[in-house]
Structure 1
Amino acid sequence: MEAAGLHTVVEASAYFVGFRLFVRERRRLALPVLADTDRSVWIAFAAIAGAAIGAKLGYWIEDPLAAFAGFPDARRLLEGKTIVGALLGGLVGVELVKRIVGAQGSSGDAFALPLLVGIAIGRIGCYLSGLADHTYGNPSTLPWAVDFGDGIPRHPTQLYELAFLLALGLVLHARRNAFVRAGDRFRAFMVAYLAFRLFVDAIKPVPYAYPGGLSGIQLLCVAGLCYYCRDLPRLGRGLWARS
């Protein structure tokens, strides 16, 4: 199977597993905001639609020269996507729909595990896709650097992210009873993931450098972390303080 086809299969598996985990977490956690079936469908739809829009906008921000090449021909605009953009877009979509339907309370904890596992599975597909996926790191002389087919050893940043997500999953599970507010497990996942991407993307090629040499993905990470800044002390206590 070609790399592109293999990536598609792995990505589809990530979506399937993530959705099944969301259904399980919704039942297991019995969150009041998701108790009503119709309301939970709207929230899930908002998460999916917001993620799709955010993933596309994130790509446009990350590599505007490629995305808008040949404009107004829209074919290039429809190509890439980004996980960070999808996470932030899904967050915005859910919060907007909750306000529209008058839903009270946090639904985030039902999404934390599905997102973590789904992204981890997806990164396996990214790694197997090699150069075509554009998720590899900069050239490296480290002993674990990987040649993705062009003769240049690079940081296998997909595997770095996979290892990080596995470690984060273990921490969130171990500290599952330490979070004092509904939604804090999701917030902790978002903060940890955005912080990780802010740093790991510093060893990836930058398709378009913004002021300070930051990539578009890093700027989105900063924006997301600023959104959660008031929650950081509480989340830190939940993650690291003794129970």
Structure 2
Amino acid sequence: MLVHPQFDPIALSLGPLQVHWYGLTYMAAFGLFLLLAMRRVRQPWFTQAGWTRRDVEDLLFFGVLGVVVGGRLGYALFYKPGYYASHPLEVFMVWRGGMSFHGGLLGVLAAMALYAHRRRRHFLEVTDLIAPCIPIGLACGRIGNFINGELWGRAADPSLPWAMVFPQSGSALPRHPSQLYQFALEGVLLFVLLWLYARKPHPLGRVSGAFLVGYGVLRFVAEYFREPDSFLGLLALNMSMGQWLCLPMIGAGVLLWTTASRRAG
């Protein structure tokens, strides 16, 4: 049975300045997005539409704002609405932790809508461009979760070769290293599938729909191995908050896909 290595969350200390591994994974995510999006705009159908390197840099700026603001507000609204209603100023204390992927997604969508409006581009053209570039950034974030020993998995059979004890959980129970499952599923696997799929032109909105369905399904599956938040537990139908939030995401993806198919027909 494995034990979490208990990494030092601080990667580097320079006097009073401390650089955390989690921050470095965010930087890696944004850097990889920039690299991949640069490759995307070199595809003929984006080049013909006038996309440039400067557009990608601006997209990254809008996206970072959307991730941080949306992720934090989403965590407050989806997971601890009562607490933050009583402590509203703590919503801005991002250094205390607490980010929601689904909130971050909504924040990014809002930021992309603003970008599309300002640049007079179709919203789905923007989301189709960025969708295949997102999963590898999510993979970086899950590595950060694993380094921090947070968001551990549910109890696992001790005979499972990779079952792991997370001392941060307050127990010696062997658990699924669910952060690594999510790294592999909604990070690496989804990236490979979307990147290969998006190598050819598709009707407007279809790549975005594929991302929503793909992430929603893979995250839904991964949630069966992830320990639910202690302050929420399992909700109706024995599903976690993460699973419930995935359902409208999958529905929106199916709607986008079918609508794109009708337009193509």
TM-score range normalised by the length of the shorter chain = 0.7 to 0.9
Scaled by the length of structure 2, what TM-score is found?
Answer: 0.71
Between 1:64-73 and 1:225-234, the stretch displaced more is 64-73
Matched, 1:74 2:90: yes
Selected match of 2:241 from 202, 216, 238:
216
Relative to 1, partners in 2 of residues 1:8 and 1:38: Cα closer, same or farther, differing over 3 Å? Answer: closer
Matched, 1:86 2:104: yes
Partner of residue 203, structure 2: 181
Relative to 1, partners in 2 of residues 1:155 and 1:235: Cα closer, same or farther, differing over 3 Å? Answer: farther
Partner of residue 134, structure 2: 115
Matched, 1:225 2:250: yes
Tell me how far 1:128 sits from its aligned partner: 1.9
Selected match of 2:28 from 4, 10, 13:
13
Q: How does 1:112-151 map to 2 (within 5 A)?
A: 112-130=131-149, 133=150, 135-141=151-157, 142-149=160-167, 150-151=171-172
Matched, 1:162 2:183: yes
Relative to 1, partners in 2 of residues 1:98 and 1:229: Cα closer, same or farther, differing over 3 Å? Answer: same
Tell me how far 1:192 sits from its aligned partner: 0.5
Structure 2 gaps of 5+ residues are 1-6, 11-19
Tell me how far 1:90 sits from its aligned partner: 0.7
Equivalent pairs counted in the alignment come to 233
Structure 1 gaps of 5+ residues are 237-243
Matched, 1:24 2:43: no
Q: How does 1:48-67 map to 2 (within 5 A)?
A: 48-64=64-80
Relative to 1, partners in 2 of residues 1:3 and 1:19: Cα closer, same or farther, differing over 3 Å? Answer: same
CA–CA distance in structure 2, aligned partners of residues 212 and 190 of structure 1: 22
Matched, 1:171 2:193: yes
Q: Which amino acid aligns with 1:157?
A: S
Relative to 1, partners in 2 of residues 1:3 and 1:230: Cα closer, same or farther, differing over 3 Å? Answer: same
Relative to 1, partners in 2 of residues 1:232 and 1:36: Cα closer, same or farther, differing over 3 Å? Answer: closer
Q: Which has the larger radius of gyration?
A: 2
Q: Which amino acid aligns with 1:23?
A: M
Q: Which amino acid aligns with 2:40?
A: E
Tell me how far 1:100 sits from its aligned partner: 5.1
Relative to 1, partners in 2 of residues 1:112 and 1:129: Cα closer, same or farther, differing over 3 Å? Answer: same
- Which structure has greater helix proportion? 1
CA–CA distance in structure 2, aligned partners of residues 76 and 70 of structure 1: 14
Relative to 1, partners in 2 of residues 1:72 and 1:151: Cα closer, same or farther, differing over 3 Å? Answer: same
Tell me how far 1:201 sits from its aligned partner: 1.9
Scaled by the length of structure 1, what TM-score is found?
Answer: 0.77
Matched, 1:196 2:218: yes
CA–CA distance in structure 2, aligned partners of residues 9 and 96 of structure 1: 27
